[in-house]
Structure 1
């Protein structure tokens, strides 16, 4: 099998590419390197450019007429940036996706696996959400993910494509073989901020301690990026069983099935490093939510998949990758 991975030079896309190779699936990478790393594509068929570039897409399809599935990871993903530049995000994530899908459809490439996000859910309760949970994107970034899902759903209903949207919860960690990881040395998610605080010797601000969770801190479903990558491999391998002629569109949560509070994430970090982390409790920030975790029954039913790696493994791999990244520059 052969797959085209848009955004395949990024954190998740490159890890998916490695998982595909390990499973005997050949990845072809399309990435404009605006945030991705060229070294993540070493030894792979790589095309540097825009997903909406028709001439480039034609060249890829001419070079690889045996593509089976497109895994669409390419997107801008920084929430505050999306608030400051919503038009840029709607252009990059929605308009260019439509152009990509139209071009693929016109060349009879109709199987699509889409990198979606649990940020589309309301996420106020700290409880589990399944795929029928209320949709309430909290940022332009999250809205772009929901809009692309709706576009895929409508296109599938028309017969233009068949699609599987994989709704990621909170990816952490790195490829266990350290072939890829987060490109940003100072990521903005909770684990990244914990790592940055520990490295700088500054207190970690715990934002909000009165959420409706078991210890009052916010809750997220931290899923190891390698588990996410494995799910994509299964989605590709079982595509025709999952997105059928009768049900050509499927949305599937990818998470561990249980939440981890910020206090528990701090404890996992301290256990892995063997060092205490200084914490300062501060008020909630505007826009913060209690969070939610994935109900993953559909992933089990349709993919036969479950997350296998523990939070501590995600912390350990993230720290190992950060050390490697410092040497790569």
Structure 2
């Protein structure tokens, strides 16, 4: 080889397979898309109790089953040489967790324990967990940093925090590192229209509002107008689901790059919008006015929930790409219209 000849490029090292639990659901399906787009082989494990088989791209392997089925998980790990698990499967409705706490401790804590054990037994070294801002409870200060006190006010938050604790203890005792991503308010849909929030009876504000905009609901209830906020309605940090999915890919690469380190990170934009601001955005995007009905505030709803996202920005190359509120609403609306066509 002469001095001027270019050196041959090294062949790319194939990426290991990732097991995504709950990959047929809302956030999980977007993470599957992000992984596939980045060249990761994906195996989805979902019992389809709230997910949809059509939400899993054909490029991924779909196994229908339960995350607590350790024989099934062991087989998937062995057959596909799984090196990492991203765990989305679980129950997520806060009021239901208050009414039926044992369901949440079973689905979110007991079954997560079984999955973590399967990971350890199968030699899986990396684990990403879908956690929540509900682990903080009523925050003492806003924006909320990861070292803020964790004192959940409902079984949903406790069930997730318990799993975080199990992961921390397991990582101390076994060759496994983890990243717990604490989501704030997830909204929107894949900008290319490949997936979106499809579960019937969803309670998330933007989903409810675009359902009203497409005629699926008659109105939107505004729960409380006496909060300590500029317009009296609660303020939340809304993160686009595709940005959230991208954070999982970056977190996975970080865990592999530095296998001795584990992480707990907020996923949000460090900026909040009130209920009325969100509804104003929906009115702008749809060029119509959605009926708003003022209702009493719900018990336990804090005035503001906004992420301090400095840790994730410092730790990962992740940067938001769809953080304009009108973009989040427009993508959610586009998906809602697509769902209407499917019906």
TM class, shorter-chain normalised? over 0.9
Partner of 1:129, secondary structure, is coil
Aligned to 1:228, which of 200, 219, 244? 244
Q: Contact 2:267 / 2:312 at 8 angstroms: preserved in 1?
A: yes
Aligned to 1:313, which of 315, 327, 337? 327
Shift in alpha-carbon separation, 1:260–1:327, aligned structure 2, 3 A: same
Match of 2:85 in 1: 70
Shift in alpha-carbon separation, 1:132–1:124, aligned structure 2, 3 A: closer
Aligned to 1:264, which of 277, 284, 287? 277
Structure 1 residue ranges without an equivalent (≥5): none
Partners of 1:240 and 1:31 lie apart in 2 by 24
Superposition pairs of residues 242-281 of structure 1, within 5 angstroms: 244-245=259-260, 248-281=261-294
Match of 1:204 in 2: 220
Deviation at 1:196, TM superposition (A): 3.5
TM-score normalised by L of structure 2 = 0.90
Deviation at 1:308, TM superposition (A): 2.1
TM-score normalised by L of structure 1 = 0.93
Which structure has the higher relative contact order (CA within 8 Å, separation 6+)? 1
Greater CA radius of gyration, 1 or 2?
2
1:2-43 deviation digits (Å, cap 9, x = unpaired):
211011111111110001111111111000111110111241
Deviation at 1:232, TM superposition (A): 0.6
Partners of 1:201 and 1:76 lie apart in 2 by 24
Partners of 1:126 and 1:174 lie apart in 2 by 30
Deviation at 1:185, TM superposition (A): 4.1
Partners of 2:139 and 2:61 lie apart in 1 by 42
Number of aligned residues: 325
Deviation at 1:203, TM superposition (A): 4.0
Partners of 2:175 and 2:100 lie apart in 1 by 31
Deviation at 1:166, TM superposition (A): 0.6
Partners of 1:128 and 1:208 lie apart in 2 by 21
Partners of 1:196 and 1:186 lie apart in 2 by 10
Partners of 1:324 and 1:73 lie apart in 2 by 24
Aligned to 2:254, which of 238, 241, 245? 238
Deviation at 1:312, TM superposition (A): 1.0
Match of 1:97 in 2: 112
